[in-house]
Structure 1
């Protein structure tokens, strides 16, 4: 699913992907977890219960291998907010965020997380949806100004954010 993105990063660093591996780690509900889709969610009004013993979290890992070793691993995490009712307990913050860890000299970690106001927003999925849309929306001027053809992040470079200050 993320092979194209991983390949673009690896090739941008001057390397070639040898193979991809995937893994998924599941967490199960330790008690019934009721849910209801809010008006802004993909399925508003949908009600149900995650039953005890069924899947309540998913941790997907996609790894690009270079020179016989893992080079980049992308983690995608999905869970219900009730981490106390999931086993094994997810070891990630239950709110939308992006985390980039670079093992190097020096090592670096970057966490992009919405403010507390964004987390408490009346629309719980808002911050994730807004972040997902930011890059393609901000790429529109560069795409329109460029020659015909397919473009990637590597072709376009960093996107400027226009109109953010009002």
Structure 2
């Protein structure tokens, strides 16, 4: 076992609080600081924020970036808000990077592939300058976009002699999901409402980073990236963890982001998100409920389905289990990111991350 990595964690929402609970028992990581943006959490013990009120860690949350940097951690694991709050994310992360502290984050999903042309310069230049100044590295991951549609399909493509097409799909029931989907996806809104992600450029920027990444990985340059968007309107009221979606409103959405090469779709990312397993019955499903699926047509053709579940009796939804894996991917990457040269880190730069210290 290597020497534990000293960790500062920023952001104690759904993902960050679950990762915090895992760090408290992990032999490879030592929690030295917790950063929060909610003033009500300042001064609260990390154990309480992790849902572990029985554990007094002595690590009290703070909103002071300067105080956390002064702890000189090996890395910041950052679970801040989405790219909708890019300015705040960049403020926090760039401060650590300028101080020479590596950052592993789930917040800015367009940074999964920083070379994506849709990334605006004000999102890229400050991080590059901070990494250069501090000699530090910045890695962003997620589940989708992220490992479910980059690591999984790229690994499977490495088992093929020829790939005609690869499709990575998220097939989830959002009934018990408490994340944001109304304005972003239009779920729960009238069908005439245009959600943010229905706008092609925004959809590609927010979710499409792994399409050009996979093209780069297999040595091709895409001719174009296109999108599709479909809505399904519920004929009856549907109860969710966030309230009731009334009949006549959108209760399922399906979109694709398509990498075009030589006139055909060769790399496709697909989302099918439902409120209720019976919603949009003609749209794709997995062989089991709530799965991430990879379909490769080629030589050979390959199908892989991955399910994230809690088996601890807590009753937490599969989507929440996927959120935990999202956060843990960033945490477990810390030792590898520490060993890499300064600058952006993508999945193409990382070695196999097997999860040192997970079996104990």
Give the alignment's TM-score, normalised by structure 1.
0.81
Distance 1:111 1:87, change over 3 A: closer
Q: Is the 8 A contact 1:27 1:89 kept in 2?
A: no
Q: Calculate the aligned-residue CA RMSD, in Å.
A: 2.2
**Cα displacement (A) at 1:77:** 2.2
Which entry has the higher C-alpha Rg, 1 or 2? 2
The match for 1:112 among 298, 303, 306 is: 306
Q: 1:147 corresponds to which residue?
A: 341
Q: 134-143 or 59-68, which moves further after superposition? A: 134-143
> Secondary structure, in 3 states, of the residue corresponding to 1:103?
strand
The match for 2:244 among 27, 39, 49 is: 49
Aligned residues: 153
Distance 1:74 1:105 in 2: 20
The match for 1:66 among 239, 242, 261 is: 261
The match for 2:236 among 27, 31, 38 is: 31
> Secondary structure, in 3 states, of the residue corresponding to 2:305?
strand
Distance 1:53 1:2 in 2: 27
**Cα displacement (A) at 1:59:** 1.1
Distance 2:232 2:351 in 1: 38
Which structure shows the bigger proportion of residues in helix conformation?
A: 2
Distance 1:97 1:121, change over 3 A: farther
Which structure shows the bigger proportion of residues in strand conformation?
A: 1
Give the alignment's TM-score, normalised by structure 2.
0.39
> Is there any run of 5+ residues in structure 1 with no aligned partner, and where?
37-45
**Cα displacement (A) at 1:134:** 3.3
> Is there any run of 5+ residues in structure 2 with no aligned partner, and where?
1-205
